[in-house]
A and B are shown apart, each in its own frame.
Chain A
Amino acid sequence: MDKATAIDLYRVMRRIRDFEERATVLFGEGKLWGTIHSYAGEEGIAAGVCAHLRNDDWITSTHRGHGHCIAKRADLGRMYAELLGRETGYCRGRGGSMHIADTSKGNLGANGIVGGGIPIATGAALTAKQLGTDQVAVSFFGDGAVNQGGFHESANLAAIWKLPVIYVCENNQYAESLPVKRAFAVEDISRRAEGYGMPGRRVNGRDVRAVYEAAGELIAHARRGGGPAFLVADTYRHEGHYYGDPRKYQTKDEIEGWKTRFDPLVDTRTWITDTKLATQAELDAIDAEVIEEATRAVAWAEAGPPASPIMLPGDVYASY
């Protein structure tokens, strides 16, 4: 991997981690409400996959969607503004954390329904196929979504029609509070791909290089007309299902153990410096840039006007 790619992966991951930490603080300060779902610990997946996507490729995301949004090159200020309920937010304060979309960058939205984005990404891939473009669609979802009917129906449609869509399962070990062991009778979720007649791959989601390489192959394959694929990245969410989750389904030992053992940011720093792609100082400088950029983004967002009142029917309908 060349230096620019490695540095970019690290920067995106750092941006995501910083966003989640900052959003948590803002929540604690009472500036956000509703709910937020932290992507901390899973950064390598969004970064590694989206590095292969162009602005005109599409993604669908999840309730835990900040990371995908950032990796798809969203504007941080508009993301913070959305969380803060400002008119300058991506959704003008109508959507909030669980519905951030940036259609100008092909982000068809976070989704509050587990698995809700899977059929939509499949439809986006149908558009590419129908219009004869080489665009691809990527659907991100968690292990919980793999047990939704929409996953099954969509995977089958994509396979019979050879649609350019990559289904990316972020197996963070829990569907809300249900451990994967109690949700699947198979240990390797990627084996389900065989049943649909598409390639299935399993990678260590902590290792951004592994995600990057696997996603690169599958996306290139889809772009060439080779059809869909299923990529499962094993990961772990550092925080609870949502901000404030009491996490009664986990032990302290488990949480602390995982956090110590499983930090893709630490790993990424290590391989970048070990392979001499960059020095600690260079990475520290990126950290500083990310912090500076985020500080400015939050300030910009906080200065924005509150979301304008709902206008009917224009807010709801394109024409009426």
Chain B
Amino acid sequence: MFYNEALGDALRLEMERDPRVIVLGEDIAEHGGAFQVTAGLLDKFGPTRIRQTPISELGIVGAAVGAALTGLRPVVELMYVDFSGLAMDQLVNQAAQNRFMFGGQARVPMVMRTQGGSGRGNAAQHSKSLEAWFTHVAGLKVVMPSTPADAKGLLTTAIRDDDPVIFLEHKLLYRTKGQVPTGEHLVPLGEADVKRAGTDLTIVTWSREVLFSLEAAENLAADGIEAEVIDLRSLVPLDRDAVLASVRRTHRLLVVHEAIKRGGYGGEIAAMVAEDAFDDLDAPPRRLAGLETPIPYAQHLEKSVVPQVNDIIRVAKELLA
């Protein structure tokens, strides 16, 4: 099953299970969503539950906040994460903080699904990786699945979660294929997944870079280097134990992400390991991440600013040198 179909499967099952689940977003009805995640859902659930909206990101997200506060479980589809700036007040000042500000009186069970990442020539306003923005806000959860199975399982869990969840997909993962459990499938938030076991270094990564890291790991294995690839899957909550346990075995950490390095979530992982497992390290933690630039248009330029498989191989070897 394709990644986008797996997401659609999760939506369908949760909408069948719970009438309070509704979907709000642009182009999600007849068109089936910009990435065909909601394809077929309009026919099944009708226009009140697959509620196509005008292009009003702040209004859509705010309506979801209000609906979540009053008993629905809305799932918002925001077409590009780059548009989240338009909705940021409702995410950061409202959804994230209502529970805390109101002394625990409120719950905001909503999901904002959106997608980011480069690799499709969409240029600077449609290609960013902005997860670090959201991880920096107390009150939000941040999820970034890399496989179809995880996409389905994490979205199901996110919809049932009582907190606002920022669910970040990657535009180049939608047409990736994988085995997906049929029927109900739940993947807990805050549980990393060892996508490849290894002994020589720990690669911590998420989203599309998981695929790159796995490919790099196969290449490294040919050179006798066994990399462990940990897919965080959810950045908040963070599975600290999984990362620390792995680093304590491999003694080396490489964090790989597409988002720019400065202020990126990789810094958080590296700092955590430095604080809590410093004595276990045989080398300084390394971060391999996007350059501090907007995403350029031309294909060769676009590739040049985000980590590619060869970059991961190179830095892994440096780390072991």
Contacts and interface: CB of A to CB of B under 8 A. Distances in A.
Contact of A316 (B54, B61, B99, B161): B99
Interface residue tally on A, bucketed by range: 35 or more
Nearest to A154: B59
A91 interface: yes
Contacts of B67: 123-124, 126-127, 130
Given A120-B66, A157-B53, A92 B71 contact: no
A94 B103 contact: yes
Contact of B94 (A102, A120, A154): A120
A133 B62 CA distance: 21
A56 B82 CA distance: 37
B93 A113 contact: yes
B103 A89 contact: yes
Contacts of B90: 116, 119-120, 150
B72 to A, nearest CB: 5
Contact of A122 (B62, B72, B100): B62
Contacts of B56: 153, 156-157
A103 B59 contact: no
Given A90-B103, A113-B89, A320 B237 contact: yes
Given A99-B101, A317-B163, 4 more contacts: A101-B102, A119-B90, A123-B62, A153-B54
B70 A91 contact: no
21 contacts: A89-B103, A91-B105, A101-B98, A101-B102, A102-B105, A109-B101, A119-B63, A119-B94, A121-B66, A123-B62, A123-B67, A126-B63, A127-B66, A127-B70, A130-B72, A150-B58, A156-B59, A315-B99, A315-B104, A318-B162, A320-B237
A304 interface: no
Contact of A123 (B68, B162, B190): B68
Interface in B230-271: 237
Given A91-B102, A119-B59, A120-B94, A108 B69 contact: yes
Given A89-B103, A99-B101, A157-B54, A316 B138 contact: yes
A74 B94 CA distance: 21
A137 interface: yes
Contacts of B101: 91, 94-95, 99, 101, 109
Contacts of A320: 163, 190, 237
B65 interface: yes
A95 B99 CA distance: 10
A102 B74 CA distance: 22
Name the residue among A58, A94, A137, A160 with the largest chain B CB count within 10 angstroms.
Answer: A94
B106 A127 contact: no
A306 interface: no
A123 B56 CA distance: 13
A118 interface: yes
Interface residue tally on B, bucketed by range: 35 or more
A315 B89 contact: no
A156 B102 CA distance: 28
Nearest to A317: B163
B295 interface: no
A160 B51 CA distance: 12
A303 to B, nearest CB: 18
Nearest to B59: A153
Contact of A119 (B22, B48, B61, B190): B61
Interface in A231-285: none
B28 to A, nearest CB: 15
A197 interface: no
B66 A122 contact: yes
A301 B168 CA distance: 44
Contact of A92 (B65, B93, B103): B103
Contacts of B153: none
A1 interface: no
Contacts of B139: 316-317
A108 B63 contact: no
Contacts of B89: 113, 116, 150
Given A119-B63, A319-B161, A130 B102 contact: no
Nearest to B92: A113
A58 B22 CA distance: 20
A309 interface: no
B102 A126 contact: no
A131 interface: yes
A119 B66 contact: yes
Closest 6 CB pairs of A and B: A119-B62, A123-B66, A153-B59, A91-B103, A92-B103, A318-B162
